[in-house]
Amino acid sequence: MRRIVPSMFLREWIHHPAAVGAVWPSSGRLARRMAACVPRCGDGLVVELGAGTGAVTQALLEHGIAAERLVVVERSPHFVRHLRRKFPSVTVLHGDARRLTELVPPRARVDAIVSSLPLRSLPQADARTIVAQWGQVLRLGGCAVQFTYDLRNRLHYEPSGLRQCSTHLVWANVPPARVFTLEACS
User: For residue range 20-41, what is the model confidence (pLDDT) as tens digits?
Assistant: 555 456 789 999 999 999 999 8
H-run or E-run covering 186: none
Any idea what the Cα angle at residue 3 is, between residues 64 and 173, rounded to 5°? Answer: 60
In whole angstroms, what is the distance from residue 119 CA to residue 117 CA? 6
CATH number at 53 reads: 3.40.50.150
User: For residue range 134-168, what is the model confidence (pLDDT) as tens digits?
Assistant: 999 999 999 999 999 888 877 766 677 899 999 99
Least reliable range by pLDDT among 45-54, 71-80, 154-163, 166-175: 154-163
Identify which of 93, 29, 42 has the alpha carbon closest to the alpha carbon of residue 69: 42
Least reliable range by pLDDT among 13-22, 64-73, 98-107, 173-182: 13-22
DSSP code per residue over 33-52: HHHHTS-S--SSEEEEE--T
Total domain count, the chain: 1
Up-side HSE of residue 100: CA atoms within 13 Å toward CB?
28
From residue 56, how far is each of 9, 69, 105, 107, 134 by CA, in Å?
14, 15, 22, 26, 18
User: For residue range 89-105, what is the model confidence (pLDDT) as tens digits?
Assistant: 999 999 999 999 999 98
Instruction: For residue 184, give every residue at least 6 positions away whose Cβ sits within 8 Å of its Cβ, in sequence order, or none.
Output: 134, 135, 138, 139, 140, 141, 142, 143, 144, 161, 162
- Structural domain range at position 153: 4-184
Up-side HSE of residue 161: CA atoms within 13 Å toward CB?
16
